[in-house]
Amino acid sequence: MMLEFMRNKLVDVARLNEDTLSIHGVLDDSIYNLELDFKVNINDLVCSAIEGRWLRWTTPQCPQALTFLKEADGFCLSEGIDNKIHKTVGRRACRHFANLFIECAYAARETVKLLHWQEAVENEPSLSFKDFLEKDSVGGIPAADVMEPVEPVKKPEPITSPVVSEKSSGGVSSVADASFIGNDGKSDSTGFVIDLHLHTSPASPCASSSVDAMIKEAKRIGLDGICLSDHNYVWSPDVVRDLRKKHDFLVLRANEIVTEQGDMLVYGFYEDVQGIIKLAELKKRVAAVGGFVVAAHPFRGFLTFGADDVGLTTEKAMAREMFKWVDGVETLNGKVTATENGLAQNVAKGLALTATGGSDAHDISTVGTYATTFEHEINSEEELLSALKEGKCRPVTFR
């Protein structure tokens, strides 16, 4: 057996003085070699004096990452900081520095627990480390809410609250609910174009534009409608009906649900599903209410970073377990490569599954990049479902 890749990460923590830790991290792998040094205040876990060094890197621009490491100065390295590190150090500087920084933050927290236990032992010599932590589960680290705040998780506002209530115990709402939401009769003789896949803030924590902004942009660029497909989120029919009236624009509901086989767009299914659901189970529940399951970006990330060298043919792709359980395939998705969309198109054609398109927009700049055009005007979620089931639609490049 031949070693193909190796990554070693080493983190050391020393105590500089009464109040300060000195952290040194090294990441050395087959591609990169980088180092981090910084200080951490023992009392509040706030870091400072971050310095990075590259020893090996890839692109000519990688050295620029060092400038942005300073943005993490002042971060409090309490539990839950990892996402903030990914979003700042990872996005602005380099994901590999972020990876090492997260290891260093873990090491800092563990060290502070150890130091606080050692202090406690001076007064209570028989106190074991485990007993100390059982008494004080955070090891003397102040709770996050009294420390410099970590970027808050965005929570949906009341106006967009999901339709769960009495149905959250497993019951499902009827597809007939879909008829609540309709259009005022706008028509387009060249085809009726709907962006079937987009996200809004705060319903999708990863999105950055509000639903009103997304609707305005969709209307401005000439789409006939949009379908709100926030992650594991069910829009209230009343809220969506109000949005339609407010903007005089077709707004429909979908849901992008995470399964063990990847993300699935579901139409005509309004159960609040949280966590990971098995695709087979999701299909069963959606079918029970007459809904429609579309495999969202089914090859996202398959054909990048050399994965296209591994020999994934259309035939092999068609044999994937996922395609036994879906009714359609998203063959134009705005967040994947042309090659990945191309493979999805081949699979949909090979398996005779309905093909759809959607922008997967998370902000207004990409609304409508791809969409789905329907043969006939769509006025409600019921009509959308019928058109999808009859295959009276096709994906289009719109913007």
Partner 1 sequence: MSNNILKFSMNRSTSVEKINATCLRSVCRLQDSFTDAEVAIEVKMPDLEIVAISGHLQHVYNDEVKNLDERLQKVIGIRVGSGMLKIIKGLMGEDKNLEQLVYMVEECCHGVILTLTKKVLLKAPDDEAGKFAFYSKMVKKNIRLYDRCAGFAKGTPLVAELEAEEGGEKA
Distance CA 322, CA 319 (A): 8
Rg, Å, the chain Cα set:
25
Distance CA 94, CA 6 (A): 19
Interface mask (CB under 8 A) for partner 1, residues 271-310, using x and -? ----xx-----------------------xxx-xxxx-xx
Does 5 bind partner 1 (CB under 8 A)? Our answer is yes
Number of residues that bind partner 1 (CB under 8 A): 77
Q: Which is nearer to partner 1, 111 or 255 (CB)?
A: 111
Does 360 bind partner 1 (CB under 8 A)? Our answer is no
Does 143 bind partner 1 (CB under 8 A)? Our answer is no
Distance CA 26, CA 62 (A): 17
Q: Are 298 and 262 in contact (CB under 8 A)?
A: yes
Q: Which residues contact 386 (CB under 8 A, 6 or more apart)?
A: none
Does 2 bind partner 1 (CB under 8 A)? Our answer is yes
Report the candidate in 382, 266, 252, 395 with the shortest Cα–Cα distance to residue 325.
266
| Residue position matching structure tokens 């939401």 | 181
Q: Which is nearer to partner 1, 59 or 123 (CB)?
A: 59
Does 153 bind partner 1 (CB under 8 A)? Our answer is no
Which of 317, 332, 387, 388 forms a contact with partner 1 (CB under 8 A)?
Answer: 317
Q: Are 348 and 331 in contact (CB under 8 A)?
A: yes
Does 145 bind partner 1 (CB under 8 A)? Our answer is no
Does 53 bind partner 1 (CB under 8 A)? Our answer is no
Q: Report in angstroms how near the CB of residue 98 gets to partner 1 at its nearest.
A: 9
Q: Report in angstroms how near the CB of residue 135 gets to partner 1 at its nearest.
A: 12
Q: Are 329 and 348 in contact (CB under 8 A)?
A: yes
Interface mask (CB under 8 A) for partner 1, residues 58-97, using x and -? xxxxx-xx-xx---------------------xxxxxx--
Is residue 83 helix, strand or coil? helix
Q: Which is nearer to partner 1, 187 or 365 (CB)?
A: 365
Does 48 bind partner 1 (CB under 8 A)? Our answer is no
Binding part of the chain for partner 1, among 183-191, 216-224, 336-344, 376-384 by CB under 8 A, reads 336-344
CA distances from 256 to 3, 17, 201 (A): 39, 51, 14
Is residue 116 helix, strand or coil? helix
Site for partner 1 in 155-214 (CB under 8 A): none
